[in-house]
Structure 1
């Protein structure tokens, strides 16, 4: 190794520019790898819910222009009819769970906000107005619950969350107060059992924190700390539903058993007019949640695809540049390979020496390149909206970049070196 290093030092003029090229390429490749790693980590992180075999039923109300319209029906009647439709769906064969919610379903296009006060500090988060079965339907994972007897139970069961949600309780996500530094509550579990005022600190209307749940992400391109992840869940009672007046402003969700999830939409719509139209309320449409996800994430998906195409083009140029540079360098040293073999070096020894030279030169260039990449990250010149720039993130991107660069260098040396070693030494020296 010392001999190789001495040779690189003696040939410093040509190696300097090659090392400079490797330094620039390494920094650019590190930036690309960092973006890809962050995007992948965010995309594949747990969502906090499960929408497999789930459907969203959009209900509406008949207008006076319809021949089936029943005059004299009040908003109270419409909401009672909607509750009756939900009850009938619970008894439909193959249906596992049914829940009504308002602007709370995954991949929805609307949201509400709610503020609770913790030690006079207003904590604002997404308001999930849901029936208790919402927790079972989307399999929201719990952290801890507190029953009416005041006993705390640490559990991940969605059933436990559903059992404690009522008109006098709240369910908070684990990270609901993580962004409020003055509270020092990265985890909301200490709030379990406390009576929290809604809106203003002096509000007499309070609700007890009866459960702590895992956050629900808004989409695959947002983290659990961004909007939609921290949430405050309250019970959607009949009285609250009546305030919305129209069933179209509410969402009815259904989970189907896996073995029964075959042509469920067609069968339901065939029975919709006969079984699930009550009064003036009827089922307008049924959409599986994977379609809602496609609609909600379409813009983000297109943006990521565009960025991947650009980064893929840059990566291809980097690959061809690095491989081509070392390919040409090795091919140019064909006579040196022949001379070493003529002096008694084995083919394996020459091959290892060429590979070691390339990798050693890369290591020399990687040290300052790593420092440059570190300073780029510290200066927040990388994307920190989804994940903070920390030691783990830097090390992962650095390791992946080093491996990719090393593979490119080895590939650029391997093939021309193998060809050069197959040539007889006398023939190569004669050609030279």
Structure 2
């Protein structure tokens, strides 16, 4: 049957050529949409590296000089670090509280943007030549326990940093840039903020992302313990701290307000006090609102394009089958079975789609070669000529960086999944476009169907 179908398709090559061109263009557009959806979906559902469940951020401030209970400087016998530590202790002692930590511009979804120059003391990669700036998160050791951050080996990071002074925790991306996968990274030292300061690497955490729409970046945590804690709190001020509390069970806003009322004076140390609370999930919603609007607009556009593609392909094959009623009637008059005719038409439509597959193979070859080595394969006219049509589109998408290779790498699995779903979807559309007119045509009496011939 396949040989017979190919012979007929060749004899009808003029009309089939236009259908083939349409399928190639549609495949290109559909592939781009599916690839975009693939990247967004995979990025959104990738691990964040932390957990914000039941975590609340307590808002801190200093009493005004005219406020009741204000302590003047003459009676003030403690420092900002001491006041903040005492407040953490008082809140942690409540049986409903699981853990407490303090950060400075480093809380999840806080839009913190602190950067510092860092250089490995004994690294042998490009970063060893000069200082590079990386995002820095100033956190107390309890931060890792509160947000459930683990090492790349699955162990709690808190156990690696508790009680240790002047240590940092780096992400895998930073470790790869510094040491290129070398073993025994823990224990090495890095310079930061100039060559006068150095810290020991206490652990390598899992990848940390700022939100669900971004990929993980190279960054590190500066553990605030001892003198590092005192100097940081004194520099920024205790009231500027991001005071995070994890409760042992989920709380509503009203329940948390009652919790604060029950804490009473324990929410105040000298002039430092808690004046409000906000769940971390609210900061997440605020930060993602713009991203989600953009994602919804993108999905709406994709749905609109998909509907157009759907009706375009179905309409093309619908009209094609309508114009071939005479051929169907002739085959029935010559004794062809109804089921055989339906199978024949489905196979013919799918063969037209399958003819674009060689272009896909060439397209992937272009993508894969250029991803690995564009030096040995120059961009010549012959190279474009041999990959005419859809291959040019696919090549341009990669070469002009139209595909999102920043958040998700261009891997064989990504290519296979996106193109596989593209062709599966197009195959379903073609079968729907063939099904109804062929179903009607094969149920006509042969004599009536021959009128169309």
Q: Give the alignment's TM-score, normalised by structure 2.
A: 0.84
Say which of 81, 84, 92 aligns to 2:83: 81
Determine the C-alpha separation between the residues in 2 that align with 1:35 and 1:186.
Answer: 30
Residue matched to 1:150: none
**1:4-403 equivalence runs, <5 A:** 4-72=5-73, 76-118=78-120, 119=122, 120-121=128-129, 122-143=131-152, 154-163=153-162, 166-178=164-176, 180=177, 183=178, 185-187=179-181, 190-201=184-195, 203=196, 205-225=197-217, 230-237=219-226, 238-244=229-235, 246-258=237-249, 264-271=255-262, 273-368=264-359, 371=363, 372=391, 373-379=393-399, 380-403=401-424
Tell me if the contact between 1:53 and 1:255 (Cα under 8 Å) persists in the aligned partners: yes
- Shift in CA distance, 75/52, structure 1 to aligned 2, threshold 3 Å: farther
Give the length in aligned residue pairs: 412
1:224 deviates by 0.9
Determine the C-alpha separation between the residues in 2 that align with 1:235 and 1:242.
Answer: 9
RMSD: 2.4
Determine the C-alpha separation between the residues in 2 that align with 1:75 and 1:343.
Answer: 107
1:117 deviates by 2.0
Tell me if the contact between 2:161 and 2:223 (Cα under 8 Å) persists in the aligned partners: no
Determine the C-alpha separation between the residues in 2 that align with 1:366 and 1:76.
Answer: 75
Determine the C-alpha separation between the residues in 1 that align with 2:28 and 2:101.
Answer: 51
Q: Deviations over 1:129-154 (max 9, x none)?
A: 111111110011113xxxxxxxxxx5
Determine the C-alpha separation between the residues in 1 that align with 2:308 and 2:248.
Answer: 50
The 3-state SS of whatever aligns with 1:388 is coil
Tell me if the contact between 1:175 and 1:187 (Cα under 8 Å) persists in the aligned partners: no
1:236 deviates by 4.7
Determine the C-alpha separation between the residues in 2 that align with 1:111 and 1:287.
Answer: 20
The 3-state SS of whatever aligns with 2:406 is coil
Higher mean C-alpha displacement, 355-364 vs 375-384: 375-384
Determine the C-alpha separation between the residues in 2 that align with 1:79 and 1:173.
Answer: 28
1:175 deviates by 1.5
Tell me if the contact between 2:350 and 2:427 (Cα under 8 Å) persists in the aligned partners: yes
Unaligned runs of 5+ in 1: 144-153
- Shift in CA distance, 157/28, structure 1 to aligned 2, threshold 3 Å: same
The 3-state SS of whatever aligns with 2:118 is strand
Unaligned runs of 5+ in 2: 123-127, 364-390
1:422 partnered with 2:419? no
- Shift in CA distance, 167/52, structure 1 to aligned 2, threshold 3 Å: same
Q: Give the alignment's TM-score, normalised by structure 1.
A: 0.88
Tell me if the contact between 1:335 and 1:428 (Cα under 8 Å) persists in the aligned partners: yes
1:292 deviates by 0.8
1:221 deviates by 0.9
